[in-house]
Structure 1
Amino acid sequence: MPMKSYVELLKLRIALMIALTAVTGYGAVAETVEPLHLALLVVVMVLGSGGSAVFNHVFDRDIDALMKRTRNRPMVVGTVAPTEALMLAGGLTMAGIVLAVSALNWVVAVHLFLGVFVYAVIYTVWLKRRTWWNIVFGGAAGSFALLAGAAVVQPSQWALPALLAVTLFLWTPSHFWALSILLVEDYRAANVPMLPVVVGVERTAWCILGNSVLLVGSSLVPWAMGWLGTPYLIGAGLVGVLLLGLNVKLVLTPSRYWAGWNFAASMPYLLGLFIAVFADKHWF
């Protein structure tokens, strides 16, 4: 089978973002950065994320065939057999868990497992086809990645990582609801109840704004509690204002154009937040 098809199943861009999320959790509590620990953490998270992504491809191959964006995926066109893909998913996940236990600690492994379970089972199997709440609860997968990163350093130090995990949890709806507006016809064709399919684009725009207010507000709590300082406040504040500004534009002009801008800006927002955490803890 073409190696390209197997690589596509891993959703490597998402895996790398999950790994970066875990690295941020690590950086939030580490006094000094240990390159070996950081490298092992990245490998562990990529393995776990890759395993859950492969399972998602297998389970969703029927609805992927109905959507323009996904109808050429390997599981749809048949370049990878479902049994082979499931074996790959299980192997990657088990490899990540075993490596986490043996090279890091069991708390990291537990959070890795929980992240995989949330994405593969709670989101993909239970919620995605049943309710518009799907990506709200599915966002917990990323939160567990951040907690896994923090657990590498200090498994019992949860206050700051937990707050950052809440912020990441709130980021997911603003990110994916904007994407869902762009893909609303695809989701409608596949009968997937993403929010714009259920309530329309205009109400979704308001939901994105309301959620982002909570998101930006939550991102400032670590500063208000005194756990992060002025560099973090400046960074989080700047990217938060930019994101909210685009959310307002979408509310005033609910369209694919502004949904595209909101979706495109959501990733730099999260990256800016991650950089602000590292800058505050390690560079100033």
Structure 2
Amino acid sequence: MTFRQFIELLKPRIALMIALTAVTGYVAVADKVDTLALLLLTLAMVLGSAASAVFNHVWDRDIDRLMRRTAKRPMATGAGTPAVGFALAAVLMIAGMTVAHLVFNWVVALHLFLGGFVYVAVYTVWLKRRHWTNIIIGGAAGSFAILAGAAAVNQTDWMLPMVLALVLFLWTPSHFWALAILLKDDYRDAGVPMLPVVVGEQQTAYWILANSVALVGSSLLPWTMGLLGPVYGVTAVVTGIGLLAFNLKLVLTPTRYWAGWNFAASMPYLLLLFIGVFFDKHW
């Protein structure tokens, strides 16, 4: 296995997103930001996310071979063996939980583990190949990162972290269903019942819009509940209107072109919300 294949095995972009999510949970409850603590929190979350990614590569290697997007993944091509992959996943998860426990506390380690458990056991092993609700329930995996970051600061201040975790939970289906429209043929060929495969592009577009209405509504809760101020509130309103506009365009024109735009728009939407949390709390 080459170094490039090894890095691909860890899904670094997802790992960095999980780390950013945990950092958002941290800054949401912290009175003062500790740079060293953030670096160590990032390390723990990256290790935990990488562990889940490796397991996902190993478990899905058979269907990865059937999809153009994933056919060249290391485990799909036989560049790595399942035994080595499972061992690496275990080592990475133990390392991440150890850092989380020793540097912070057992609650951070527990949430790191629960995020991995939901992604691996609930989403990858149980639901992905069985039912279209896979990504809805599997989306809870990322929410645990918010809670882990918050627990690194305060184990009892849960109101804002729980609301932000809800936002992330609702963000995941809208984000992923747009991608699933783009990859519908791949998922159909691999026998994976993602929503567009089951109900088609038009119905998926309606589901994305309905889910995003709930998402934008939940994103306003920190402001309307007085947990965050106007900087975050304005950010949530403006970005929410933008996201819903893309969703509505997809409903009116359910093409892969607009699905691509919806997928692309969902990432900066979430990033801007996270930035809004930071500036509202620490600017």
TM range, normalised to the smaller chain?
over 0.9
How big is the alpha-carbon RMSD for the aligned residues of Structure 1 and Structure 2? Answer: 0.5
- Residue 43 of structure 1: CA displacement? 0.2
Match of 2:5 in 1: 5
- The corresponding residue for 2:175 is 175
Distance in 2, matches of 1:227 and 1:70, equals: 41
AA matched with 1:255: T
Aligned equivalents of 2:156, 2:228: Cα separation in 1? 19
Q: Which segments of structure 1 move beyond 4 Å, counting only runs of 4 or more?
A: none
The question of whether the paired residues in 2 share the 8 Å contact of 1:6 and 1:80 is answered with no
Equivalent in the alignment of 2:79 = 79
Alignment match, 1:257: 257
What secondary structure is seen at the aligned counterpart in 2 of 1:227?
A: coil
Q: Deviations over 1:2-53 (max 9, x none)?
A: 1211111000000000000000000100000011110110000000000000
Q: Where do residues 130-141 of structure 1 align in structure 2 (5 Å cutoff)?
A: 130-141=130-141
Unaligned runs of 5+ in 1: none
- Report the CA distance between 1:72 and its aligned residue: 0.6
Q: How big is the shift at 1:124?
A: 0.2
Kept after mapping to 2: 8 A contact 1:5/1:80? no
Is the contact made by 1:132 and 1:195 (CA closer than 8 Å) also made in structure 2? yes
* Cα distance in 2 for residues equivalent to 1:257 and 1:4: 30
Matched, 1:54 2:54: yes
- Tell me by how many angstroms 1:79 deviates: 1.1
1:77 maps to a residue whose letter is T
On the 8 A contact 1:112/1:145 being kept in 2, the answer is yes
Q: Which residue of 1 aligns with 2:44?
A: 44
Match of 1:268 in 2: 268
Q: Cα deviation per residue 1:178-201 (whole Å; 9 max; x = unaligned)? A: 000000000000010000000010
Match in the other structure for 1:245: 245
Secondary structure of 2:152's counterpart equals helix
In the alignment, the residues of structure 1 paired with residue 37 and residue 104 of structure 2 have an alpha-carbon distance, to the nearest angstrom, of: 7
Normalised by the size of structure 2, how large is the TM-score? Answer: 0.99
Aligned partner of 1:280 in structure 2 is: 280
Spell out the pairing of 1:29-178 with structure 2 (5 A cutoff): 29-178=29-178
Question: How many Å separate the matches in 1 of 2:109 and 2:12?
Answer: 20
1:164-215 CA distance string (max 9 Å, x none)? 0000000000000000000000000001000000001000000000000000
Give the letter aligned to residue 202 of structure 1.
Q
The one-letter amino acid paired with 1:205 is A
Tell me what 2:225 maps to.
225
Deviation at 1:233, TM superposition (A): 0.6
Q: Contact conserved, 1:28 with 1:161, CA < 8 A, in 2? A: yes
**Partners in 2 of 1:119 and 1:91 — Cα distance?**
17
Partner amino acid for 1:192? V
Distance in 2 (CA, whole Å) between partners of 1:233 and 1:102 is 36
1:21 aligns with 21
Distance 1:230 1:16 in 2: 28
- Give the TM-score normalised by structure 1: 0.99
Q: Which residue of 2 aligns with 1:193?
A: 193
Q: Distance in 1 between matches of 2:228 and 2:137?
A: 27
Aligned partners of 1:15 and 1:98: how far apart in 2? 17
Question: Aligned residues, how many?
Answer: 283
Q: Is the 8 A contact 1:181 1:256 kept in 2?
A: yes
Aligned-pair identity in percent equals: 66
Q: Distance in 2 between matches of 1:84 and 1:208?
A: 38
